[in-house]
Structure 1
Amino acid sequence: MENKIMNTEKTVSFITLGCKVNQYDSDAMRTLFVDGGYSQVEDDKDADVYVINTCSVTSIGDRKSRQMVRRIRRQHPDAVIAVAGCYAQLAPEVFEKMGDVDVIVGLHNRSHIVEYVEEARGAGKPLNEVVDIMKVNTFENMFVRPEGEVKTRAFIKVQEGCDNYCTFCIIPYARGRLKSRRQEDAVKEIRNLVDTGYREVVLTGIHLGNYGKDLHDGTSLSSLVSELVKIPDLLRIRLGSIESVELSEELIDIIRNEPKVCRHLHLPIQSGSDSVLRGMNRHYRLPEYKRLIAELREKIPGLALTTDLIVGFPGETEELFQETLETLKELKFSGIHVFPYSKRTGTPAAGYPNQVPNEIKKQRVHRVQELEKEISREYRARFMGKTVCVLAEEVKDGYFEGLTEEYIRVSIRSQGVERGGMYNVLIDTMTDDGLSGVLAKEE
């Protein structure tokens, strides 16, 4: 392979597919490249290096990852292409055989990606640095340093891997076992981000509720949040997705009593049918889940609850799907992320009988989405005529927008609003997917 990087000013571009954890990983690798003398450019510009952070949560993610590699190679034939992420970890041989990739790094040793890229320039063949992720027991600690315009909300990864092994999910095989970041490292990074202007952090991970259990030193999600509330200019702490069975009483107390911690929880339900939950190897049943929801709403007034749902799991009949619809109507989540079941080779569910046809899965996704619109609108209607607290994030259509602690997007139709400020907003309008209002008058 000839030397592909010719410019004195080296440039790198990132394409990120998939989840917020992947986005954090991309941001951390970008910081490494900047420290290595690279400038970041957008993916529609010519760059010396392209890093494609792949996704494998569904077969669509796999396909998009391959398509992205081919597109970048076609458009930028002389660039170095590196692939990271779940699909690169699970199927490095796919990228080796494509002939378009120079570096395959997967989900470990990403802290060395700049070195691998430099080495690959003259290697003459793909550099495959993927390791057996099941033998990795420690969190790969990387930091994100903001570049360019500072935003108000940062996603911070504090945990990697998953020990649950739901029958539909490929992610434990891609990311390996539970690995937690040292609390002091997470706090240090968040303090640095707050010093640069960030005002809200979202704690993320693959199995966030079990954060700290592998460290055996008393670290937990509760202990981390308790430290973060002490940071003076950090206005909000938001929790990413947490399994319902991992929600401790201590954490519930913190959410109830600490004003900085958003009264919003994302608790995946995945199905509203016990029969389907058993097939999924989910570690709860509906009566248990419903009791928890009722207790949370009683203990934390005004708590917003959102969820994830999979439809079309093998063996999900129309009757079982109706059970799910009735469950959703009963629990009235303020938001539902619904996905069609995707068969993932290597998972138990891929071999289950009674696979649901794609057309039926699409129809069920649509039916849940229609129900979600109705329930979400009903939920947002509660805020009409009320004052909510909004963290201003970005300008859209001439006005600042931001989120309430309940994760509702609000347009502030008033002047004098500044990015990163927290404002009391009187809600007077419902939009298609949020709310709108004006600054509330001070009494």
Structure 2
Amino acid sequence: MKKAAFHTLGCKVNAVETEQLIEAFMLKGYEIVPFKEAADVYVINTCTVTHVSDRKSRAMIRRAVKRRPEAIVAAIGCLAQTDCQQLASIEGIDIIVGNRDKDRLADIIEMYGINKTKPVIHVSAIKSGDLLPTVIYRQRHDKTRAFIKIQDGCQSYCTYCIVPYARGPVRSKNPDQVIEEILQLTALGYKEIVLTGIHTGAYGTDLKDHDLASLLLLILEQIKGDYRIRLGSLEPLEINPRLLEVMASSRQICRHLHIPLQSGSNRILGLMNRRYSREYYRDLVLAVADKIPGVAIAADVMVGFPDEKEADFIATRDLLAELPVSSLHVFKYSVRPGTKAAMMGPAIEERVKNQRSEILLDLAAAKKHEFCQSMLGQNTEALVQQQLDTGIYEGLTDNYLEIQFPAPEDLTGNLIRVKPQKIEGGVMKGIMTA
């Protein structure tokens, strides 16, 4: 039996697309093996969101070539889409496939086996009419949560971001297709379905009479049973009162929102082309926290954007300190050639970026601890993720907290009720409840 190995870099969308490819390769008769093992095909799903992502993508390609020179090495995804010639210069690479064509990778590899042309490059422009494929999983993969890509593409053109060039315009999956995929995944036993996309909140903007709130209502109406829905990252301008009302009205929708901030300075937000103000973001987060008690609110924040002055950073720090966010994802700005921000200045010294990053990471730790403390003693739902030790399991609560607890039997993959009791060594611990 032929063997295929996959390595994914970057976002949740890349991860779900890799899972889709794994399904396609299994249907072709491949055995899926860990990336560190010998394989006939190595697939690297690349990321280009930062220069570090580029470097890691190239390193994984070279590692695969070195591990088994006779294997087929394929690079796919965002870096392949934006800079295929850079990848083509890597010795030993066989196939380069952009985002538009990567769902056909298994077929392309079969054709390569016939033609033996080096390297094969399948990269073409992504168009607004390109439809997202329906993916039907025929067996459970080695995960407790299932991800569905309901949307792809972005048209926001934030000045620092290469993603619109890598992913193309907004395309939404037809609601009937989403329903079909969820039905099939719940039939396989998945208890948590994560709806994700490159710009998840833009779902439906290219469809008639559909948006994310209407999709959630359709899911809840048509699919009954013991499962829950989690939403991927949503931009501030796409969270409206109707969506919050739908979330607050159903226990099957996880109390968890990831709302990127990027900066708490109106001046920097303008330079980033983010289209909202610190005041708008503040009011939104407070409204979310008021509408959905116990909600976990995660925020992305960037330090070191060109010409970020000390006052801009302090505005960011103070806003985040004030707001009821549960976690922070802190990024240091890096230049992406081809973006407007790449032409901006002055650049911020790495030393200053590091200092500002450390300050926000300390704030993030404090915010997470504060949120965990607020959940102690509260009965909540958790998805059992894995067994850690004999009789000890780890679960993920609906509001995105990891919790360890004893259980008399292996309930991995099931939804249970738990009560957090203490935080020990930075780990939340609790008990199962009825």
Amino acid at match of 1:424: R
RMSD of aligned Cα (Å): 1.6
In the alignment, is the contact (CA less than 8 A) between 2:134 and 2:177 conserved in 1?
no
Aligned match of 1:351: 343
Aligned match of 1:129: 122
Distance 2:98 2:177 in 1: 23
TM-score (norm 1): 0.94
The answer on 1:50 being equivalent to 2:32 is no
Match of 2:86 among 89, 94, 112: 94
Q: CA deviation at 1:170?
A: 0.5
Amino acid at match of 1:285: S
In the alignment, is the contact (CA less than 8 A) between 1:150 and 1:198 conserved in 2?
no
Q: Secondary structure at the match of 1:40?
A: strand
Aligned match of 1:334: 326
Residue-pair matches, total: 431
Structure 1 residue ranges (4+ consecutive) displaced by more than 3 angstroms after TM superposition = 146-151, 431-434
Q: CA deviation at 1:358?
A: 1.9
Aligned match of 1:204: 196
In the alignment, is the contact (CA less than 8 A) between 1:150 and 1:196 conserved in 2?
no
**1:232-272: CA deviations, max 9, x gaps?**
23421111100111113221111111110112111111111
Match of 1:400 among 385, 393, 401: 393
In the alignment, is the contact (CA less than 8 A) between 1:380 and 1:434 conserved in 2?
no
Aligned match of 2:30: 38
Amino acid at match of 1:400: Y
In the alignment, is the contact (CA less than 8 A) between 2:77 and 2:102 conserved in 1?
no
Distance 2:80 2:136 in 1: 22
Q: Secondary structure at the match of 2:223?
A: coil
Aligned pairs (5 A) from 1:297-308: 297-308=289-300
Deviates further, 32-41 or 157-166? 32-41
Change (3 A) 1:272 1:412: same
Aligned match of 2:219: 228
Distance 2:410 2:224 in 1: 21
Amino acid at match of 1:374: A
Amino acid at match of 2:397: T
**1:163-194: CA deviations, max 9, x gaps?**
10000100011101101111111111111111
Q: CA deviation at 1:312?
A: 0.7
In the alignment, is the contact (CA less than 8 A) between 1:163 and 1:178 conserved in 2?
yes
Q: CA deviation at 1:326?
A: 0.5
Distance 2:38 2:136 in 1: 24
Q: CA deviation at 1:228?
A: 2.1
Q: Secondary structure at the match of 1:173?
A: helix
Distance 1:347 1:234 in 2: 45
In the alignment, is the contact (CA less than 8 A) between 1:150 and 1:197 conserved in 2?
no
Distance 2:8 2:366 in 1: 32
Deviates further, 325-334 or 396-405? 396-405
In the alignment, is the contact (CA less than 8 A) between 1:392 and 1:418 conserved in 2?
yes
The answer on 1:421 being equivalent to 2:383 is no
Aligned match of 1:313: 305
Distance 1:345 1:234 in 2: 47
Q: CA deviation at 1:105?
A: 0.8
TM-score (norm 2): 0.95
**1:363-417: CA deviations, max 9, x gaps?**
2212111111112111111122332222212112331111111111111123235
Distance 2:68 2:361 in 1: 39
The answer on 1:62 being equivalent to 2:48 is no
Q: Secondary structure at the match of 1:98?
A: coil
Q: Secondary structure at the match of 1:382?
A: helix
Amino acid at match of 1:312: G
The answer on 1:28 being equivalent to 2:28 is no
- Give structure 1 stretches of 5+ with no counterpart: 1-8
In the alignment, is the contact (CA less than 8 A) between 1:109 and 1:140 conserved in 2?
no
Aligned match of 2:9: 17
Distance 1:203 1:168 in 2: 25
Aligned match of 1:5: none
**1:55-106: CA deviations, max 9, x gaps?**
0000000001111111111111000111111001000111222232111111
Q: CA deviation at 1:149?
A: 5.5
Distance 1:276 1:355 in 2: 13
In the alignment, is the contact (CA less than 8 A) between 1:401 and 1:412 conserved in 2?
yes
**1:85-132: CA deviations, max 9, x gaps?**
100100011122223211111101223211211222332321111001
In the alignment, is the contact (CA less than 8 A) between 2:186 and 2:227 conserved in 1?
no
Distance 1:368 1:144 in 2: 41
Distance 2:291 2:36 in 1: 49
Deviates further, 389-398 or 328-337? 389-398
Distance 1:182 1:234 in 2: 24
Amino acid at match of 1:259: R
In the alignment, is the contact (CA less than 8 A) between 2:286 and 2:324 conserved in 1?
no
Q: Secondary structure at the match of 2:348?
A: coil
Aligned match of 2:423: 430
The answer on 1:171 being equivalent to 2:163 is yes
